[in-house]
Chain A
Amino acid sequence: MISLFGRNIFPANFPSAMLPPDWPSGFWSHLIIFVVILFVFFIIMAMAFIYVERRVIARYQIRIGPNRIGPFGILQPVADTIKILIKEDIIPLNVDKLIHLLAPAVAIVPAIMIFAVIPFQNGASLVDLNIGILYIVAISSVSVVGLVMAGWSSNNKYALISVMRVIAQVVSYEIPMALAIIGVVLFAGTLSMNGIVQAQNIPYILLQPLGFLIYFLAALAEINRTPFDLLEAEGEIVAGFNIEYSGIKFALFFLAEYTEAVAISAIIATLYLGGWKGPFLPPVLWFLIKVFAVFILIIWVRSTLPRLRIDQVMGFAWKFLLPLAFINLLVTGVQIVVWPNISQWVIVGVNIVVAVASILLFSRFFRLKGDKIEA
């Protein structure tokens, strides 16, 4: 019985009385525990990602990277966080104040919300939505609204150019991304994230090699990573949308960026690499290993490739990824209908051949034109 100023806030039989009758009785404890776990998880993972990225990219660049604070420099992100939090928080004079203040929150909340449906081990997610992957597709594109708000409200030309780019880019890459996911859903026969993991007797990266590539590239564009990091092309538009941000608001954008990276890595690990499945080690550990493996792939791409130009980025989405996504969907659909009972390994072989053939075909007949300037 909890009372405040002599009035009962919660009924005596809290919490079960506040639930609809058909909901499980352990709902509240589950909710609270998982929300705490998720918040700890995403903050620790984002920091770990920042640390890993700096160390790994330093190795690619024949440097050592941060190694001063803590053993092997693992406390560097903590030190950076403290430093950035005690920075002066500047709000420029001519910004649209409300939107300017709201933007970092709008950017980070959808990124955190993605974790609600990620299964860490069998059934261990905040909520096992039966439309889990649809929910992710819907939520993950909301983040960009925060960036647009930031760029628009900052009253800065670099920021404006940056968000003009990002709108076009994210809208374009949503489509091949969603189409690639449909391939997975067709094989799994469910939209639930846990169900997709359970359906993976062999990881879907083998069953859907083309789909994986499309999803991976589209995801890079979605989280604005190299070679699609036009949003913050420092050589062209200085810092992009967050140019007028400082202090904790900048930190939130930074955190949002890495939270999205964690989320995308987790989604790829779940959809294509078999999620928590794996021999010997505990499922949670397998899940984390896969997440980090995907992230290191992202870092590898970042440290190697130059950046595309905006028209090339758009051309890549519409002329290359989209047709390939349709091919992938068609092939998958035909396989599901024609060979419902065939061994999955046959489909693996066929799909790898299809993937290689269609990529070779496209790279032969499709070239990004360097000299085209749109009118």
Chain B
Amino acid sequence: MALKTETFMVNAGPQHPSTHGVFRMRFTLDGEVIQDVEPVFGYLHRGIEKMTEGLTYTQDIVFTDRLDYLASMTNNQAYVIAVEKLAGIQVPERAEYLRVIMAELMRISSHLMAVGFLLNDLGAFLTPLLYMYREREKILDLFDMVCGQRLTYNYMRIGGVSQDIPEEFLPALKKYIYSLPGFIAEYDQLLATNEILLVRTKNVGILTKESAINYSTAGPVLRGSGVKWDIRKADPYSVYDRFQFEIPTGVKGDVYDRYRVRIEEMIQSINIIKQAIAQLPQGEIQTKVTRMLRPPKGETYGHIEGPKGELGFYLVSDGSTNPYRLHIRPPSLINLTPLREMLIGVKIADAMAIFGSIDICVGEIDR
């Protein structure tokens, strides 16, 4: 009898320890090596885009909290920026600075989670993740101080922010951001000098510069591949043109570079927050905006640099109180498109590392 082998199909998800939610990948395996992968999503579809059409512009802010639930603040910001663009609303300076502080804190928090979960997928039994949680918890406390929420903030409003920061916020924030670089350095030293981590991440899941651009990826995935592209610099929104910061980029575009970019971005975010605190003006935090806002007929696209990449809201107004159409450009979904290219030919263990390095949030993919 002649020996023969055959490929077999294995499901990773929707219920699987490293799918970060209810994402599903159907692997066709030849032993350990992936021959083919078919991503399946839609398990978390809630119809947010359709639901927004039935509610007013202000009421729709709460839906954006539920997109990428690890970065609600930036979702709020992207949406209100789109609406403000559509309605031509000016935002007070203090509100802009508060938005920047919140968005950068959110970026740090989201990157902490991304790095922690990447290491968890690499098999470091919970330890790095829990240390990341410890730091993230402090950010959540800061948010709690500002808006009373820890996950779904609903903080940014059309024309400003919902409330001013309390007295104790700035000292707490300063204390935190001055302690964070030390923590990141310590953590990075522990991890980036670990031989096992290096062999598991270096030269794994390479996404070339050309592919990264062709797949229109954004955020750390794009920058990890060596493309210096950041909406904060390329198309400055809010008050980002007043801050000095670098855009960290990777060289090869492997898992390690994406990890590296996230670490560096956290440091840059700290710099931005420090500058924002120094420049923070006094004054109004909210322009007068009628509750039943009726933007003029037309359409607009507002986008920001979210923690996971370019987060855009495409809005069409028919002159009524509700958006005629709202379409979201979710960075997680678009960053997933090169997944197949990166996964074919690698081992199943690497597949999880690559998948973790993209840093997706299923709430955003399925909407």
Residues of A bordering B, CB below 8 Å: 57, 60-63, 157-158, 161, 164-165, 226-227, 229-230, 233-238, 302-312, 367-371, 373-374
Contact = CB atoms under 8 A, between A and B. Distances in A.
A60 B130 CA distance: 10
A306 B194 contact: yes
B130 A306 contact: no
Contacts of B80: none
14 contacts: A61-B127, A61-B130, A62-B134, A164-B32, A235-B120, A235-B121, A238-B16, A302-B125, A304-B127, A306-B123, A307-B124, A310-B347, A370-B204, A371-B202
B348 A237 contact: yes
Contacts of B199: 308-309, 312, 367-370
A68 B285 CA distance: 48
B187 to A, nearest CB: 13
Contacts of B346: 373
B198 A370 contact: yes
Given A308-B200, A312-B199, A373-B346, A236 B127 contact: no
B192 interface: no
Contacts of B134: 62
Contacts of A158: 10
A319 to B, nearest CB: 13
Most buried by A among B8, B120, B202, B349: B349
B17 interface: yes
A226 B131 CA distance: 19
Interface in B335-364: 345-352
Q: Which are the 9 A-B pairs with shortest beta-carbon distances? A: A307-B123, A371-B203, A306-B122, A306-B124, A235-B18, A368-B199, A370-B203, A61-B130, A309-B349
A312 B119 CA distance: 17
Nearest to A302: B125
Contacts of A311: 347
Contacts of A305: 124, 194, 196
Contact of A308 (B17, B125, B196): B196
Contacts of B123: 226-227, 229, 233, 235, 306-307
Contacts of B17: 234-235, 238
Contacts of B180: none
Contact of B126 (A61, A230, A368, A369): A61
Contact of B202 (A233, A303, A370): A370
B10 A306 contact: no
Nearest to B198: A370
Contacts of A373: 33, 345-347
From B122, B199, B201, residue with most partner A Cβ within 10 Å: B199
A94 to B, nearest CB: 15
Interface string B125-147: 11100110010000000000000
B139 to A, nearest CB: 16
B254 to A, nearest CB: 8
Given A227-B196, A309-B347, A310-B32, 14 more contacts: A61-B131, A63-B130, A161-B10, A164-B31, A164-B32, A235-B120, A236-B348, A302-B125, A306-B119, A306-B124, A307-B196, A308-B200, A311-B347, A368-B195
A305 B195 CA distance: 10
Among B10, B29, B33, chain A packs the most CB atoms within 10 A around the CB of B10
Contact of B125 (A63, A226, A368, A371): A226
Contacts of A165: 32
B277 interface: no
B48 interface: no
A157 B10 contact: yes
Contacts of B201: 370
Nearest to B19: A235
B134 to A, nearest CB: 6
A367 B10 CA distance: 31
Given A158-B10, A373-B33, A373-B347, A304 B124 contact: yes
Interface string B1-43: 0000000101000001110000000000101110000000000
Contact of B349 (A57, A233, A238): A233
Contact of A62 (B33, B131, B194, B204): B131
A161 B196 contact: no
A11 to B, nearest CB: 56
B155 to A, nearest CB: 29
Nearest to B126: A61
B197 interface: yes
B346 to A, nearest CB: 7
B125 A57 contact: yes
Nearest to A227: B196
Contacts of B121: 235
A236 B352 contact: yes
A309 to B, nearest CB: 5
Contacts of A238: 16-17
Contacts of B127: 60-61, 303-304
A369 B200 CA distance: 9
Contacts of A368: 195, 199
Contact of A161 (B32, B124, B125, B198): B32
A310 B32 CA distance: 9
A296 to B, nearest CB: 15
A309 B350 contact: yes
Contacts of B10: 157-158, 161
A5 to B, nearest CB: 56
B90 to A, nearest CB: 46
A294 to B, nearest CB: 19
Most interface-central of A235, A237, A368 (chain B CB within 10 A) = A235
A63 B31 CA distance: 38
B18 A236 contact: yes
B250 to A, nearest CB: 15
B257 to A, nearest CB: 13
Contacts of A63: 130
Given A226-B125, A235-B17, A161 B348 contact: yes
Contacts of B131: 61-62
Contacts of B352: 235-236
Nearest to A375: B33
Contacts of A307: 122-124, 196, 200, 349
Nearest to A374: B33
Interface string B97-133: 0000000000000000000000111111111001100
Contacts of B347: 309-311, 373
A158 B346 CA distance: 17
A313 to B, nearest CB: 10
